[in-house]
Amino acid sequence: MKRWRNSALAILLLVLGSASAAVTSISRAQAEKVHPAGREFSVDRLLALDDYFLGMVAERKIPGAVVLVQQHGKPVYFDVFGNRDSGHPMTADSIFRLYSMSKPITSVAVMMLVEDGKLKLDDPLSKYIPAFGDSKVGIDNKTGDEHASFGLVPLQRPITIADLLKHTSGITYGFYGDDPARKRYAQLDVFGRDWDNASWAERIAKLPLAEQPGTLWNYGHSTDVLGRVIEVVSGQSLYHFLKDRLFDPLRMTDTSFYITDLQHRERVAEPFASDRMVGPVVGMHDPADIGRWEAGGSGFVGTSADYARFLQMLLNGGTLDGRRYLTAASVKLMTRDHIGPGSGIARDYYYFPGAASGFGYGFAVRTKEMAEEPGPLGEYRWDGVGGTFFWVDPADDMFVLVMTQAPSQRWRMEVDVRKIVYDALGN
C-alpha cells in the first residue's frame, strides 16, 4: 500500500485514535450492512496522487498539502507534500483555515438541536432572532439609477431554519453579483470581527434580502446566522456549544475559531504571498488575530486529523467510537437533495455546485452521474475558499480530504483529484 512518511502517519494515527485509524465501534460486517463494500482501490493507480501533488508543489501552484483517502474506516492513502510556510515543511498536524468547510460543522450542530427537540426545521427565523421579522426583499426597478430604482417589498413567507440550512433564505454575500441588494452587503463590511454574533446578526437583519425565501439557492451568510440561532437556543456561545457537543467528544482538539495559544501559530499553513485573496476585497486572515465574531459559515481553523474524524462520523451514519452524534435518519436528511425538480427552487448563477449536483443541509449532493465529473449518486461534499475540500462517498464507504492553502487552485485540484481517485477504484 502507500509508502507513508512515518512521522506524518504517526501523528495522524495518534489523533485519529488508534493504530486502526478511526475504526469505529461497529464491526466491518456491521458496517457493510450500512454501506456496501463498494469497489476496492488499485494501489498503483492511487499512487498517481504522489505525482500529482509533487508536481503541483514543484510548479509552485501550491505551497504544500495534506492528503487523505480513507475507506472502511482506515486510511488507504495519506501523505504530506511541500511546505507549510516559507521556513517549514508541511506536517500532518498543520492547521488550515477551513473557511466554508465550517458550514457542514455548524449545520450538524443545528441538526443536533433539532434532534434535542429544541429547534424545528420549519420554525421561522424570527422566533429566535426577532429582528428578521421585519425583513424585506430588495428589488431593482431597472430605471438606471440604483438608488432611485431600489425598492423593498414584504416577504411572501418567513425565512425558516430549513431555508438557512439549504441556502434558500434570501440572505446573500456581498462579494458577487451587481444588484442593489448585494451591493448593500458589500458596503456594510459584514466580515468584520469587532462584534459578537448577536450584534452581527442584528446588522444582517437590517439588510434587504436578495430574493424571496424559498425561491433561489443563493450562497451567503445563512450558516453564519444559524450560528447565532444555536447560541439563542443553547444559551452558550457557538464555540462552547460545539466544543461541548462535537469537538471534545470527537477529539477535534485543534478545531476552533481563533488560535489563542501562540505556540500553535507556527503550525498554521500559509499560501504564497501572491495567492492570499479569497474574494475581490478579502484576503486570508491571521487566525491569531482574535475577534469576537464566531462565523459559523466561514470561521473555523483545524487539522486534517480533526476533520477526518468529523467525516468518518458522518460516513458511519452519525456515530464514532461508540458515541452517537446524530441519528442515521438525520444524516440521510442532511445529505439528500432538497432543491431538485419539484422544489420550486431556482439555482444561483454564480456559486451553485454544478450540473450534477443538488444541495442538502450543508452539503452539495450528487444527483447525476457524469463521466467528466466521476462519482456515484449520493456522494456529498463541500470545500473552503482557502483551498481545502472533501467529499464523502457512501457507496464505496470512503471519503477524500485535501488540505492546502491556495485559493487560486481549489477548483482545479478538486477536479483533478477526483479523476485520480475514481480511476484507482476497480469496477
Catalytic (active site) residue 176 = no
Among the listed residues 362, 364, 349, 345, the one whose alpha carbon sits nearest the alpha carbon of residue 213: 345
Q: Assess contact for 259 and 239: CB atoms under 8 A.
A: no
Q: Given the residues 103, 234, 256, 325, select the one marked as catalytic.
A: 103
Q: Where are the beta strands (DSSP E) in 36-116?
A: 64-71, 74-85, 88-89, 96-97
Q: Given the residues 52, 77, 99, 219, select the one marked as catalytic.
A: 219
What does each C-alpha distance from 251 to 17, 118, 242, 298, 305 come to in angstroms? Answer: 8, 25, 12, 21, 9
Find cell 431538485 and name the residue: 340
Q: Which cell numbers hold the place of 257? A: 475559531
Local structure of 398: helix, strand or coil: strand
> Between 304-315 and 6-16, two packed helices, what is the crossing angle to 10 degrees?
50
The one-letter amino acid at 8: A
Q: Assess contact for 213 and 170: CB atoms under 8 A.
A: yes
Q: Assess contact for 102 and 386: CB atoms under 8 A.
A: no
Local structure of 140: helix, strand or coil: strand
Local structure of 101: helix, strand or coil: helix
Catalytic (active site) residue 103 = yes
Q: Residue ranges of the alpha helices (H) in 243-322? A: 248-250, 304-315
Q: Given the residues 100, 135, 234, 357, select the one marked as catalytic.
A: 100
Catalytic (active site) residue 74 = no
Local structure of 299: helix, strand or coil: coil
Residues marked as catalytic: 100, 103, 219
